[in-house]
């Protein structure tokens, strides 16, 4: 059974940074596309960034400011996925989700992810 467990969320002040982690079990990091999504109040869940099987980072929204502030990485030896977020501001507040696919990102991202974590809440205070 595949489990994805996010951690690292919390409350930070405007301009602060956070590092989210996603621990996996039953799934091998690097075997498929992995990604971070978020859902902000009143909005649909949106893709932030993904990392493909070969380690390339993929961002679906090139014009989004998150591309310049959020960095996805992985540690295959620890079976972990990370999201480093910098210069956070209030409209980054939301629940952040880790997701994994059984295929590479060209096939699975962003609409074909197979497994999801329960999310971790990030709150930016002004």
- Conformation bin of residue 94: beta by default, left when phi > 0, alpha when psi is -120 to 50: left
Q: Is the peptide bond before 23 cis (omega within 30 degrees of 0)?
A: no
Q: What does the pLDDT read at residue 63?
A: 47
Neighbours of 61 (CB within 10 A): 13
**Rounded average pLDDT per 10-residue block, the chain, 126 residues:** 97 96 97 96 92 87 64 95 93 96 93 96 94
Q: In the structure, how many helices (H) and strands (E) does the chain have?
A: 2, 11
Q: What does the pLDDT read at residue 118?
A: 98
Q: What does the pLDDT read at residue 68?
A: 73
Q: What does the pLDDT read at residue 58?
A: 84
Name the DSSP letter for residue 10: E
CA 23 distance to own-chain centroid: 12
Q: What does the pLDDT read at residue 61?
A: 53
CA distances from 21 to 12, 61, 100 (A): 16, 22, 13
């Amino acid at each position: 059974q595949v489990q994805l467990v996010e951690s690292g969320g919390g409350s930070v002040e405007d301009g602060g940074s956070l590092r989210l982690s996603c621990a996996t079990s039953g799934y091998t990091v690097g075997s498929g596309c992995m990604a971070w999504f978020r859902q902000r109040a009143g909005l649909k869940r949106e893709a932030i960034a993904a990392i493909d099987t070969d380690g390339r980072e993929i961002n679906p929204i090139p014009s989004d400011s998150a591309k310049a502030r959020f960095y996805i990485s992985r540690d295959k030896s620890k079976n972990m996925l990370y999201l480093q977020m910098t210069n956070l501001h209030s409209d980054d507040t939301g629940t952040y989700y880790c997701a994994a696919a059984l295929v590479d990102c060209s096939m699975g991202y962003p609409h074909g992810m197979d497994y999801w974590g329960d999310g971790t809440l990030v709150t930016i205070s002004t």
